[in-house]
Amino acid sequence: MICINRHTDYAVRILLALAKHHFGMRLSTSQIRDEMLIPPALIQRIVADLARGKFIDTFPGRDGGLQLARPSAQINLKQVVEYFEGPISISDYLTDDLDCPFEAQCPVRISWGGLQTIITNELEKISVQRLALEAKQIEVSSAKSGALSSIKSVE
């Protein structure tokens, strides 16, 4: 089963929270934790992992916080997933030297390889900047629908 674990999902959420602000802006860990609903017990470990992976920079002290290490357009989901999960593989037959009686002529192996290429390419296309733009669009649309609901309830 292909499954992105919670640790990776929370890491993406942290990057998203930072990307929603201008590059270079610092946010506190507690701000991000509250906005992205990340359990307090996990956030420090994930922040440390993101810093080790050079996705974010951390700054201690009163004026410290977290910021993206590079522009959000330069960080994509493939990079994050591979950092936290390892190489993307939808089948052991694509990464291990498992004996397959059909080897390179196996139609199943060829299909798995094609699907893996599609998934990898799509993850590479999704930048953290794109996620931040989509999040802002969702917020605007939610605000508009909320305003419409308020107007209808007044009428």
Domains and CATH numbers, the chain: 6-75+127-154 (1.10.10.10), 88-125 (no CATH)
| Residue bearing tokens 């996620």 | 131
Looking from the CA of 15 toward its CB, the CA atoms found within 13 Å total 33
Contact indicator for 75, 128 with CB cutoff of 8 Å: yes
Candidate from 57-61, 101-105, 129-133, 141-145 with smallest mean pLDDT: 101-105
pLDDT digits (tens, 9 = 90+) for 37-88: 999 999 999 999 999 999 999 999 888 999 999 999 999 999 999 999 998 8
Q: In b/e form, how buried is each residue of 70-94, taking b as 16+ CB within 10 angstroms? A: eebeebbbbbbbbbbeeebbbbebe
Q: For 18, list phi and psi in degrees, rounded to 5.
A: -70, -35
Reported pTM: 0.85
Whether 148 has a pLDDT exceeding 80, the answer reads no
Beta strands in the chain (DSSP E): 56-59, 65-68
